[in-house]
Amino acid sequence: MSDECNTKADHGEQMTHPKGHCYKVSQLITLKKDGRLTWIEQLMLSTHLVMCKKCRQFTKNVDEMSAMMRSFNRQD
C-alpha cells in the first residue's frame, strides 16, 4: 500500500499528499464541530478539502451524522 493519498483537485490536476495528512485533517474536521480550531487549523483544513475528495466526503458524513444525532436527541 502506498504512503500517499492520490487526489484530483477540482480542476483535474493530479495531486498527492501523505496519508497521514488525511488522518490529521479528519481530526480537524471533528474538532471543527466543537468549535475548537485555530485560524491556522481552519486554513489548513479548508485548503486540504479543496484538493481531497475523500476528506470532503468524510466532512459530509460527519455533518450528516451530527444532524441525525441532533434529530434523535430532540425526539427524546
Sign of the CA dihedral with 60 first, then 63, 69, and 73 last: negative
Q: What is the pLDDT of residue 18?
A: 59
Cα–Cα nearest to 63, from 51, 76, 49: 49
The better pLDDT of the pair 57, 76 is held by 57
Query: Which of 2-11, 13-22, 30-39, 55-64 has the lowest average pLDDT?
Result: 2-11
Q: What is the pLDDT of residue 17?
A: 56
Domain ranges of the chain: 4-75
The better pLDDT of the pair 26, 18 is held by 26
